[in-house]
Structures are given as C-alpha cells and as structure tokens.
Structure 1
Amino acid sequence: MAAATAQTMGSLPSGVGICTTAPDIFYLPELVFGGLVWILVASSHVKPENPQGWVMFVSIFCFVMTFLWLLIFVSGGHKNHSNWATADFVYHLLAALFYLSASVPLGTVTIYIKNTTLIAEPDRFRYYRIDIAAVVFSYVATLLYFIHCILSAVRWKNF
C-alpha cells in the first residue's frame, strides 16, 4: 500500500488520472472557489479601487492559469519534460501567496464597507454581504492552493 502511494505521489498523471491523484484532485475546487471570488468581487461595489483591483487580478490570473495548467495535465503535454513537478510546486506556491495577499485586503475592504457612510444604506448592506462571501471563498481558495502546494512539494521530492 505504501509503495502504491509513493508511486502515485512520484509520478505526474495525465488524462482522467488527475481526478484520482492526491495533489491534482484540487484543480476543480480551486477553479470553483477562484471563480466565485472573481464573480463576487466583480459584482460588488469597487471602492476603494486599489485593493479590489488586486483581488480581481489575482482571481482572474489564478483562474486562467489553473485552467491552462489543468488542460496541460489532461492532455498529457507535461510528459515530454522532466521539470513539470518543479513547475507545479512553484506555480501553486505562487498562487497560494497571491491569494493570501489578496484575501487580507479584501477582508479589510469588507470591514471598511461595513463602517462607511459613502454608500447608500440599502446598497451598503448588499455589498457587505457579497464581500463577506468573497472573503470566505478567497480564504478557501488560499487554503486549497496551499494544500495543493504542499502535496506538490511532496511529489516533487519523490520525483
């Protein structure tokens, strides 16, 4: 049993195999929660612009890159090169750090929206609820990318 786990962690899957291996099973939840962050922040009131713009950049960048990464692994395009395990680890570490750097300002903006008087009262409560959901999904996406990064590091070490 331990040999089968080490073999799975030491090789890079392709095709439907990515839905059954330890680190690669996180691709779909990362896409779902990252997409939810993107949608919720885009539907919110974008004030102040600077932190919200960074959150939008991170969510769109990570969504597109994770989708492309998923397509590469599904199509087997990674089988020709030996550095894909390293690249997988580095990408998920970068994505986890990006999401963490976006989640904290998003939480700060959410607190700001709760306490501000610049937005009309009915709209302020609506945007506040949308931003709370975006903060929760952003931290879930951060956690998913971090777990994927750790499991990719274990696979990289065993590769």
Structure 2
Amino acid sequence: MASTTSGDVLPSGSRIFTTIPDVFFIPEFVFGGLVWILVASTRVVPDNPLGWVMFVSVFCFVGTTLWFFIFLCGANQSSVWPSLDVGFHFLAVVFFLSASVDLAYVTFRNGEEYKLTPTDESLKIFRLDIAAVVMSYVATLLYFLHAIFSAIRWKNS
C-alpha cells in the first residue's frame, strides 16, 4: 500500500483505493450495512438499545458514504481535513462500540428467552442477532483501525 505522508495532505480520486487508511472505506460500508440489515430484519425489541444500534449503523453508513465521495471527488485537500478524518472515525468507533455492547447484551438476554420457547422462528431470529453482533464488532474494529491510521497520517502531515 502506498503512503500519503508526502505531497498532498490526503489522497483523492482513485488513490483512495490504494492508501491506508482509506482502503477501509469499502469494508466499513459492507459490515456497517450488514449490521443495519441484520438488525432491521429481526424484531426490534427492546426499542431503546436496538434503536441506538439502528441509529449508529445508519449514521455511520451515511457518514462513511459522504466521506467516501468527498475523498473520491477530491474535495478534501484543505489542511482541516486530516483532523476531521480522525474526528469522524473516532466518533464512529465510540458509537459502534457502544452499539455493539448493547446489541450483544440484548442478544444474550433474548437467547435466554429463546431457550424457553424453542421454535424454528425464534432460532432464526437468534441466529440473525448473533450475526449482527459479529458484524457490529467487525465494523467497530474497522473503524478503529481507520481512526488509528488516520491519526498517524494527521500527525505526519
């Protein structure tokens, strides 16, 4: 992978597909979108923690999409963008980590209820919840790596 410590402050255009941390954009789309889809495809009960999970996954998906297109179009060449990049990805890490913990807790608690009434439908929902927890922690890891490498790039710029 190419480094962006010399020349432009941040990569733009097709260079974002070959530089660290920008190569994490696509996996963030995939895993963040999967969290959104998996949680939305089950019952959103209880409303409060799973509503937070839905907000975080939609917010980060839309934010990453906007960030990706800003980088792709090359509108990120002023000196403020490296710090904004770190800030956005740090916020995404904090949000996704809190949502992942909430989702894991709700899934664990629902798993205890599913054991009491084992049906095919409850098993399907429980498996979807487990998949959502795994995808949520993977998305958290990807945003964390993106934030760390963005902070390194910001420090070197």
For this structure pair, what is the TM-score category when the shorter chain's length is used for normalisation?
A: over 0.9
| Paired AA for residue 72 in structure 2 | V
Question: Equivalences for 1:17-96 in 2 at 5 Å?
Answer: 17-79=15-77, 81-96=78-93
Instruction: Provide the C-alpha distance between the structure 2 equivalents of 1:6 and 1:27, rounded to a whole number of angstroms.
Output: 16
| Paired AA for residue 105 in structure 2 | T
| Counterpart residue number, 2:136 | 138
Instruction: Provide the C-alpha distance between the structure 1 equivalents of 2:83 and 2:5, rounded to a whole number of angstroms.
Output: 17
5+ long unaligned stretches in structure 2: none
Aligned residues between the structures: 155
| Percent identity (aligned) | 55
Runs ≥4 residues deviating over 6 A: none
| Paired AA for residue 149 in structure 2 | L
Give the superposed CA RMSD: 1.8
Pick aligned residue for 1:121 from 105, 119, 122: 119
CA contact (8 A) 1:16 1:74 kept: yes
Pick aligned residue for 2:102 from 93, 105, 108: 105
5+ long unaligned stretches in structure 1: none
CA contact (8 A) 1:9 1:155 kept: no
Instruction: Provide the C-alpha distance between the structure 1 equivalents of 2:29 and 2:140, rounded to a whole number of angstroms.
Output: 12
